[in-house]
């Protein structure tokens, strides 16, 4: 593979405090992998939900709601852009996610979609808590001061 696919959720770091990260496989059908390789996926309004497994309500599955645009060279069998896609995690990781998201204001959000060295599509998800407006302003102040400090250090070197 000549180029790396790395589709990021840029709003996630602005809107949430990221606590813990997980890598999950994603179940794709038809032309969805071709669309991801073409960079036609978006994570801006995506989120993950834990749903009971059909036939086994005591076990949970993790699903992602994300947009993968239609493949431009697809035919009548092109995929539906905004459908639920199953994420593949180990059972202990799903139980850990379920335990951690019991609290108020804690959610599971996707951070990025990428293609690993084996050519498989992966989603990096995280447990996150929402930021308040004053937290967002504080983060912006810190990043601005860090950027200014880096500028000054670069001029002095």
The per-residue pLDDT for range 16-66, each reduced to its tens digit, is 888 899 999 999 888 888 888 888 888 888 889 888 888 888 888 999 998
pLDDT tens profile 122-155: 999 999 988 888 778 888 888 889 898 888 888 8
Q: Are 128 and 21 in contact (CB under 8 A)?
A: no
pLDDT of residue 31: 84
Q: Pairing mode, if any, of strands 41-53 and 121-130?
A: unpaired
Dmax (CA) of the chain: 66
Give the up-direction half-sphere exposure of residue 47: CA atoms within 13 A in the CB hemisphere.
12
Domain ranges of the chain: 6-131
pTM for the structure as a whole: 0.78
Digit-coded pLDDT (tens) for 52-99: 888 888 888 999 998 888 777 766 677 777 888 999 999 999 999 999
From the options 2.40.40.20, 2.40.280.10, 3.40.50.970, 3.40.50.150, give the CATH code of 6-131: 2.40.280.10
């Amino acid at each position: 593979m000549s180029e790396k696919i790395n589709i990021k959720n840029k709003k996630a770091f602005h809107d949430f405090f990221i606590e813990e990260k997980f890598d999950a496989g994603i179940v794709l059908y038809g032309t969805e992998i071709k669309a991801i390789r073409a960079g036609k996926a978006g994570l801006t309004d995506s989120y993950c939900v834990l749903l009971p497994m059909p036939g086994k309500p005591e076990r949970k599955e993790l699903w992602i709601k994300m947009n993968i645009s239609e493949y431009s060279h697809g035919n009548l069998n092109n995929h539906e852009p905004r459908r639920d896609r199953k994420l593949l995690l180990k059972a202990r990781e799903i139980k850990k996610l379920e335990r951690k998201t019991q609290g108020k204001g804690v959610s599971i959000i996707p951070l990025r979609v990428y293609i690993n060295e084996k050519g498989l599509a992966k989603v990096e998800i995280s447990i996150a808590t929402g930021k308040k407006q004053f937290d967002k302003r504080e983060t912006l102040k810190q990043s601005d001061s860090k950027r200014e400090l880096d500028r000054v250090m670069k001029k002095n070197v």
